């Protein structure tokens, strides 16, 4: 349903005239550039593109895009986006949210947007902190996070956005991070997916949660700590010396050593983006004992919500008389003679 004829644009065509107001060094800058670099490659038309956001640092995103943009209220962007898609399915809608906006105050709407499978892209910037309100812990903050509202360290268990999205019935689940060179490819895959495409983007909040993702995102040693998934490819990392295999007794994933490139011999799983069971294991795979699963974790489209709903409506309209006078005079009537 998205742009049919590719349009030729450059990165400049996607930059609005507004001054970007994020903190210097914020991960959001890198994500903004990645998006602005990706959209020309997709041949999209800025006039048919809408960025919708809630409230938070990430939600200022629409102001910096030279597209249509709607900066709505805290947590509710999914509901606004649903109304937009149901009213004009031709619009290409990108939803920008954060871990507080999308997982806390708006968790309900995020759930239903994914459950219904509205055809749009969801970019959830996860910095594991409330930035715009000055550093309180968020629903994705790790246990023990010190913050103004958790001076002794937070005790709540963090939520995993990808596990949440998959549990909501998500048909496209992917992960990336702000400065990753692979982010544009992840976004392209999300855009190609028909339906609600959920992308968690780890984002470095340099003021309130600096370098919280360094353990896997730092360039040095990244090979050992990042598992970039590719459909049809074995799940290898550490320069191919390690891989992910299935522990068939415990029905869990395990890390195996790969000797001399014999990944088949080591039982390394070949990534199948349509395998929902493996997707569940990948989104739950704990970082530390395992590398961070990145890239497209799951991609198995099914009919979109607006496609189903609007075609049902169209069918209901077929051959129906639309005369208003007839509608008003429905039911049992009587006539008073003059």
* Smallest distance from other proteins to CB 49, Å: 8
Q: 166 with 280: CB under 8 angstroms?
A: yes
Cβ neighbors of 257 (< 8 A, separation 6 or more) are: 241, 242, 266
- Which residues are at the interface with other proteins (CB under 8 A)? 16, 18, 46-48, 50, 52, 62-63, 65-73, 76, 78-84, 86-88, 90-91, 108-109, 111-112, 309-310, 313, 316-317, 320-322, 324-325, 327-338
* Nearest residue (CB) to other proteins, 96 versus 292: 96
Decide whether 248 or 321 has the Cβ nearer to other proteins: 321
Q: Is the dihedral of CA 265, 269, 271, 272 positive or negative?
A: positive
**Which are the contacts of 50, defined by CB distance < 8 A and separation ≥ 6?**
67, 68, 69, 70, 84, 91, 92, 93, 94
Least Å distance, CB 147 to other proteins, is: 25
What is the torsion angle, in degrees rounded to the nearest 10, for the CA atoms of residue 236, residue 292, residue 27 and residue 18? 80
Smaller CB distance to other proteins: residue 100 or 158?
100
- Which tokens in the block code for residue 328? 């008003």
131 or 234: CB nearest other proteins: 131
DSSP for 65-133 reads BSSEEEE--TTTHHHHHHHHHHH-TTSEEEEEEEHHIIIIITHHHHHHHHHHT-SEEEEEEE-SSBTTT
Q: How far is CA 246 from CA 47, 65, 226, in A?
A: 47, 43, 18
Shortest CB 115 distance to other proteins, Å: 9
Residues with Cβ < 8 Å from 90, sequence gap 6 or more? 1, 2, 48
Closer Cβ to other proteins, 232 or 331, answer by number: 331
Q: What is the smallest separation between the CB atom of 267 and other proteins, expressed in angstroms?
A: 43
Nearest residue (CB) to other proteins, 277 versus 335: 335
- The distance of closest approach from Cβ of residue 257 to other proteins in the complex, given in angstroms and rounded to an integer, is 47
Looking at the Cβ atoms of 84 and 217, the one nearer to other proteins is: 84
Tell me the closest approach of the beta carbon of residue 10 to other proteins, in angstroms. Answer: 15
Shortest Å distance, C-beta 178 to other proteins: 22
Find the shortest distance in angstroms from Cβ 63 to other proteins: 5
Residue 49 in tokens: 């593109």
Q: Which residues of 212-234 are buried (b: 16+ CB within 10 A; e: fewer)?
A: bbeebbeeeeeeebbbbbeeeeb
Which 8-state DSSP code applies to residue 28? H
Identify which of residues 118 and 297 has a Cβ nearer to other proteins in the complex.
Answer: 118
How far from each other are the two terminal CA atoms of the chain, in whole angstroms? 55
């Amino acid at each position: 349903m998205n742009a049919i004829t590719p349009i030729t644009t450059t990165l400049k065509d996607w930059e609005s005239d507004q001054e970007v107001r994020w903190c210097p060094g914020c991960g959001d800058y890198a994500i903004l550039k990645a998006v602005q670099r990706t959209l020309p490659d997709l041949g999209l038309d800025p006039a048919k593109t809408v960025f919708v956001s809630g409230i938070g640092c990430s939600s200022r995103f629409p102001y910096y895009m030279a597209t249509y943009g709607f900066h709505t209220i805290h947590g509710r962007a999914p509901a606004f986006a649903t109304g937009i898609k149901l009213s004009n399915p031709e619009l290409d809608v990108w939803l920008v949210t954060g871990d507080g906006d999308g997982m806390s105050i708006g968790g309900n709407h995020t759930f239903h947007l994914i459950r219904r499978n509205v055809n749009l892209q969801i970019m959830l910037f996860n910095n594991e902190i409330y930035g715009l309100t000055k550093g309180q812990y968020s629903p994705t903050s790790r246990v023990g996070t010190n913050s103004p509202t958790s001076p002794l360290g937070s005790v709540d268990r963090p939520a995993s956005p990808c596990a949440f999205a998959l549990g909501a019935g998500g048909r496209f689940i992917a992960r990336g991070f702000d400065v990753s060179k692979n982010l544009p490819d992840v976004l392209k895959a999300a855009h190609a997916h028909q339906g609600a495409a959920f992308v968690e983007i780890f984002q470095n909040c340099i003021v309130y949660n600096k370098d919280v993702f360094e353990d896997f995102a730092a360039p040095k040693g990244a090979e050992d700590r990042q598992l970039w998934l590719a459909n049809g490819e074995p799940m290898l990392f550490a320069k191919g010396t390690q891989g992910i295999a299935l522990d068939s007794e415990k029905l869990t994933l395990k890390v195996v050593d790969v000797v001399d490139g014999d990944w088949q011999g080591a039982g390394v799983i070949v990534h199948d983006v349509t395998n929902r069971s493996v997707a569940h294991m990948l989104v739950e795979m704990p970082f530390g004992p395992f590398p961070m699963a990145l890239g497209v974790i799951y991609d198995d489209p099914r009919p979109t919500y607006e496609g189903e709903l609007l075609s049902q409506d169209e069918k209901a309209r077929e051959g129906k008389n639309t005369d208003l006078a007839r509608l008003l005079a429905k039911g049992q009537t009587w006539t008073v003679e003059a």
